Structure 1
Amino acid sequence: MRFRAEISNPSQFARLISSLSPLGKSATLKLTEETTHLICMPTGTKSDVQVWRCDSIFNTSTMRVESNNNNEIYLQLSLDHLAKALRSASGATQVTAKLAKRGGNQGKGDGAYPVLSLVIESSSRLGKRLGITQDVAVKVLKTDDLKELKEPLCPQPEVIVILPALQKLRTVTERLKTISSHVTISANNLGELRLRAEADEAKVETEWRGLKRPNGESMTAEVDDPAEFFSVTLDTKNLLRFLNTYAVATTTIACFCSNHCAIFYVYVGESKDKVQGGVLTFYVPAIKIDGDDED
């Protein structure tokens, strides 16, 4: 089993991992010859957020993936440990990731364990080449471990819309959190979006108008009236976990499956015209007003 590749944008990757850390302690890195998936699964309840990312974390021209499982490798690792290792890559000229072994007898025999080794190269102020290595312990998943790694099945959404800046949505949601533990999001196909929180003492609603819809999208179910609103009620904490990606997001597309779930496609990069870091896909399940999970 072999893996080696250069990280396309170490600083952006570091910000991404930091933004995902609140979702859970660990993630699964799925490596193939052509794509990379970073998967954050629920911690055990149906109401948790799932994240699936397919993107260009690694430079495919330098990528080498070899295994007996159709040249696919699945690595489970700590998001916190990976975030700490990537902090050393700030200002690096090149970062190469590779699968290695440590411990035992020079990485062999009893006591040896697998790591994702980050070889970080940079230059000093005098132009001297500097290099350090950061190791992140990983668990190599076997076939039996992969049964739970399945993307959730969702109905066809009724509404699809490009969201306002996530930082603005996060600010509004933080305020709504003081009113209720859940937020209802409603939208229609005319580009209107509403966030509402209510309790016995108060009801607060914020509305956006004139939002755009993705060009050429035909993902939505047939809706007779484009002005009709469709709603999904989400746990406020789950919504905020998704909104923590505001630091790396450029454009975010939201799909609402009425009373079932919300799906958010977060395009990561430094330019809205060019997706440099791929796409984060968030699945946020709906809850009932009484707090029970949807079936």
Structure 2
Amino acid sequence: MLVESLFHEYKVESNANDEIYLEMKVEDLLLAMRSSNNASAVVMRMTGRSADAFLTFTITTEDHLGNSRPITQNVPIVKIMTADGANNTAVFTEPMIPTPEVHIMLPQLERLRHIAASYKNLSDFIVISANLDGEMVFTTCDGSHQFNHTAGDAVTESITAKYGIAEKAHVETRFVNLHNPLLKLSEEEEHPHRERLRHRPKEFASVMIRVSDLQKVLQSHYIKPQNVICSVLHDHSVLFYVYLKDTNESTLTYFIPESAV
């Protein structure tokens, strides 16, 4: 990510090409980030040396009267590494997934956040369905049902329930006239997206995930993204590509596998 995507002002000085490599516990950093959600200003600086080093966050909040109140939080630094040490540190392995067939632009994130919050009060699971005709459907699900989708038709519930448990409430939210981004493909490349667009544009691809996982993705509205593309892999997973504003080089990617009950 570009530095400008994260900081308004910054200054880094070190003997290693003005770069500093730090190892921290995610939960410690997350605690400071959550405290910064409603802040009017956040200043982060590195303090201490080696064994007692910290990332110190000065978080300024304002009450309804406009009075400012600073809060300081220290995030312990587990290790200060060299460039070679950082490059040789084991990182996570990206999951192997099939090629997505359906790509669609999400509606306004703020609107989706309210929908997801309402769904959370009704169910722990949600079925996300989309096609290449600009349609996207969110459906509540109790996690025990399978859903079938027919071309050009509304989302319909199959009669097969894994545990024979009926939903107490069934809520469906449908979006139409959304944008399906075109993939840059060579004429010789036989891509699943192209085959589906040519023969089955109205056919839905669907995946069931937890509402709480969707809510985590929608938190990206805080960074005011330029757009968010959703890629649905039927009965497998869903990916969200969050493109940051004012840059073509910074993208956040969320991968959510289908939930298993």
TM-score of the two chains, using structure 2 as the length reference: 0.63
- The answer on whether the counterparts of 1:184 and 1:234 sit within 8 Å (CA) in structure 2 is yes
**Matched residue of 1:259: which SS?**
coil
Aligned to 1:76: 25
> 1:220 and 1:76 mapped to 2: Cα distance?
40
Higher-strand-fraction structure: 1
| Cα displacement (A) at 1:174 | 2.5
Aligned to 1:168: 111
Q: CA RMSD in A?
A: 4.1
> 2:122 and 2:11 mapped to 1: Cα distance?
50
> 2:38 and 2:214 mapped to 1: Cα distance?
30
The residue type paired with residue 25 of structure 2 is: Q
- The answer on whether the counterparts of 2:124 and 2:141 sit within 8 Å (CA) in structure 1 is no
Pairing 1:152–2:95 present? yes
Pairing 1:115–2:51 present? no
- The answer on whether the counterparts of 1:253 and 1:264 sit within 8 Å (CA) in structure 2 is yes
Pairing 1:228–2:203 present? yes
Aligned to 1:263: 239
- The answer on whether the counterparts of 2:136 and 2:176 sit within 8 Å (CA) in structure 1 is yes
Structure 1, unaligned runs of 5 or more? 1-33, 37-54, 102-106, 121-131
Aligned to 1:207: 174
- The answer on whether the counterparts of 1:56 and 1:277 sit within 8 Å (CA) in structure 2 is no
Deviations 1:48-95 (CA, angstroms, capped at 9, x unpaired): xxxxxxx83257995557669x985544342112454x5897357xx5
Which structure 2 residues correspond to residues 233-252 of structure 1 after superposition, within 5 A? 233-250=208-225, 251-252=227-228
| Cα displacement (A) at 1:198 | 3.8
Structure 2, unaligned runs of 5 or more? 60-70, 143-165, 186-190
| Shift in alpha-carbon separation, 1:173–1:88, aligned structure 2, 3 A | closer
| Shift in alpha-carbon separation, 1:205–1:113, aligned structure 2, 3 A | same
Pairing 1:287–2:259 present? yes
> 2:105 and 2:22 mapped to 1: Cα distance?
34
- The answer on whether the counterparts of 2:22 and 2:78 sit within 8 Å (CA) in structure 1 is no
How many positions carry a matched residue from both structures?
212
| Shift in alpha-carbon separation, 1:63–1:167, aligned structure 2, 3 A | same
> 1:227 and 1:60 mapped to 2: Cα distance?
47
> 1:183 and 1:87 mapped to 2: Cα distance?
26
> 1:245 and 1:237 mapped to 2: Cα distance?
14
| Shift in alpha-carbon separation, 1:75–1:64, aligned structure 2, 3 A | farther
| Shift in alpha-carbon separation, 1:227–1:276, aligned structure 2, 3 A | closer
| Cα displacement (A) at 1:114 | 2.0
| Shift in alpha-carbon separation, 1:179–1:253, aligned structure 2, 3 A | same
| Shift in alpha-carbon separation, 1:226–1:179, aligned structure 2, 3 A | same
The residue type paired with residue 78 of structure 2 is: K
> 1:282 and 1:64 mapped to 2: Cα distance?
32
> 1:281 and 1:66 mapped to 2: Cα distance?
33
Larger radius of gyration: 2
